[in-house]
Amino acid sequence: MAFKHISITQTQALLNQDDVVIADIRDPNSYQAGHIPGSEHLSNANIGEFMMNKEFDQPIIIVCYHGMSSQGAANYLAEQGFEDVYSMDGGFTQWETQLPEQVER
C-alpha cells in the first residue's frame, strides 16, 4: 500500500469533508506564519499521538514546502497501515500562490 499524489485543486475540494486531515510537516515558524485552514502541524514530536488519534481509513493529506518532503512522510504513514494517504503536489508554497485567500495566519 502506497501513498497517492493529490493536486492543490483536489485538496481544496476535499477541505469541505469532515473526516479529511491536512497534516503540515513544515517547521513550526513556517506553520505559524501561514497554513491551510484547518490543518494540523505534524512533527516528529507529535507523530505518535497523531497516529493514535486518526482512523486508518481516514483521508490524510501531507503538506510540506514544495511537495517533496511530504512524499516521505506520506509513505511512512502508509507503511504504518494508513490506507488513504496523499502527498500534496506543489506543497504550501504553490497553495499560497494559487489560493492566497485560503491561508490562515
3-class secondary-structure state, position 53 = coil
d(Cα 15, Cα 49) in Å, to the nearest integer? 22
Active site residue 64: yes
d(Cα 90, Cα 70) in Å, to the nearest integer? 10
Choosing from 25, 61, 64, 74, the catalytic residue is: 64
Residues with a catalytic annotation lie at 64
